[in-house]
Each structure stands twice: as structure tokens, then as C-alpha cells.
Amino acid sequence: GEAVLDENMCPKPVNHYGCSKLAMEHISANYFDVFDIIITRPFNYTGVGQEKHFLIPKIVSHFRERKKEIELGNLDVAREFNDIDYIVDINHKLLICEAKSIAVNLSSNHPVKLLDVIHMMNEIAGYTIEVKVNPLFVRENEIPSLSGSTDLLASLIDLKNNKTLRKTLQTMYHAP
């Protein structure tokens, strides 16, 4: 199914990273009445300069290096891949907005299938890469589509348009 997460949903982390983020939220909430705190919950974002061990830079680097094949996990999962400039703009606006003592998604509610990312890169690079699905990269019980609601975020700040993922991929592919 498709999951659009909003800030009112109770987080249920499934790994140590998620548990540490939730613990941080609980600790921070103890200081809501002392400090002006906005807890941000960023969804996936990417851009020029991100390390190659992250998914999108890995894909882009394979195309930049004209590799014939790439190993990935489940190609049918859809996730948000927001542009770093969009995330920076949101953070800046949240820093100067009136809202305090809340948690807010840094999201676009626009999931993209991994297979569609590959198709976009095939077009951008002008060749078709062979994709091999590595069973070690496929997660059990993975949610097919996962994105974040922007309802609260849009009520707090003026959301500028996020670059299309295609534009972000083009920028990353053609970066020096």
C-alpha cells in the first residue's frame, strides 16, 4: 500500500537509527516550554556533493562513469527524493516562522519509483544501464510507497516549488 505519513502518526522505528531519532524527539520535547524548538522530520533528499554510498548519488555516479550495470534492491518501491535546495529553503523559513514546540515533516508528498529514477537517468545519460536486483538489497516487508504529508508544513510557511527529480538528476549528472 501507499503510506503518507503526517506528524500526528505515532512513529514506530524499525532500526537503531530511527530509534535514536525518536529518542531525540522525546528529549527535545521536554524543553518545548524553555526553548523555541521545531523538530524536523526530513524525508529523503539529495543533490550535488552527496556521498556516493547514498542511493541517488550511487545511481548518478554509475551513469557518469558509463558503467554497463548497477546492482539495486526492489525497483518498485517509491520514495521521496527531494532536492537539497528545497530542504534548505524549508529550514530557513522554519527558522524565522512563528511556530514553536512542534514536529514537522520536511517532505513533498511526491514519491517516485526507483525504476522511474533509472528511466530518467537512461534518458539523461543517453544510454540504458542494465539493472541487476541484488536480493541482499531487498528489504522484507518494505512499504511499497512512502511519503510525507505537507499539510502542516504548508500551513506554517510558503512552500516554494521543489525542483523536479529529473532536474535534480540532470544537475547532479552534469556537475563538475
Q: Express each pLDDT in 143-174 by its tens digit.
A: 899 999 999 999 999 998 789 999 999 999 99
CA nearest to 42, candidates 61, 59, 25, 60: 25
Write out the three cell numbers for 74: 526492489
DSSP state of 66: T
Helices (H), the chain: 16-29, 55-64, 84-96, 114-125, 151-156, 165-174
Q: Please give the pLDDT value at position 54.
A: 97
| pLDDT band, residue 142 (cuts 50/70/90) | confident
Is residue 176 scored above 90 in pLDDT?
yes
Cell numbers 529553503 correspond to: 89
Write out the three cell numbers for 25: 524527539
Q: What's the gap between Cα 87 and its chain centre?
A: 10
Interval 42-80: pLDDT, tens: 999 999 999 999 999 999 999 999 999 999 999 999 999
Please tell me which residue in 17, 31, 86, 173 is annotated as part of the active site: 17
Is residue 120 scored above 80 in pLDDT?
yes
Cell numbers 524525508 correspond to: 43
| Sequence-separated (6 or more) residues with CB below 8 Å from residue 168 | 46, 47, 56, 81, 83
Q: Which residue has the higher pLDDT, 58 or 13?
A: 58
Q: Is 127 a catalytic residue?
A: no
Q: Please give the pLDDT value at position 94.
A: 97
Interval 30-42: pLDDT, tens: 999 999 999 999 9
- Domains contained in the chain, CATH given: 2-174 (3.90.25.10)
**For the chain, the helix, strand and coil percentages under 3-state DSSP, each to the nearest 5:** 40, 20, 40
Q: Please give the pLDDT value at position 134.
A: 96
Q: Please give the pLDDT value at position 160.
A: 84
Q: DSSP 3-state assignment of 83?
A: strand
